Amino acid sequence: MTLDAREFRDAMGCFATGITVVTAKSNDGEKVGCTANSFSSVSLDPPLVLWAVAKNANSYDAFMEAKHFAIHVLHAGQENVSRLFATKDVDKFNEIGWTESQDGTPLLDDYSVRLECTTEHIYEGGDHVIIVGRVFEMDNPDVEPLGFYQGKYAKIVTE
């Protein structure tokens, strides 16, 4: 059976996710970042997470060579940040507050959770590459996360 790519994408959209912005610095010093909802925890011991970057992403080469990266789980008020980092050919870091970590990774000032990682493994994944990172620093201000469901931003209600 051959699956239609659009139908498959729509089906995967039925799985509600959070939204992250992943940032890194290339070997030539360029700050990069992209919006990703392909994020998951992998292991508690050691603390590992994964995310996937498209092979045709402008930031692909930078993420492939980066030894460090940061994953920012966006909070409910950051739809604009999600959209900003989903665009191409824009200096995204001029639009938001950020600082640089000791290893040079750009860190967003605002987020629901931030994980600083070292690249542990890289795996082929079709039109994406799966990057597994070992978390070495974490900040969790416990703010309501931004959700995504069926191609739309969604509010996550906790009780």
For the question of whether the overall pTM of this predicted structure is more than 0.75, the answer is yes
**Average pLDDT value for residue range 111-120:** 97
Walk me through the domains of the chain, giving residue ranges and CATH numbers: 22-155 (2.30.110.10)
pLDDT digits (tens, 9 = 90+) for 18-63: 999 999 999 999 999 999 989 999 999 999 999 999 999 999 999 9
CA distance 88 to 35: 11
91 burial level (CB within 10 Å; 0-12, 13-18, 19+): exposed
Contacts of 119 (CB under 8 A, 6+ apart): 66, 67, 68, 69, 131, 132, 133
- Which residue bears the tokens 């967003």? 108
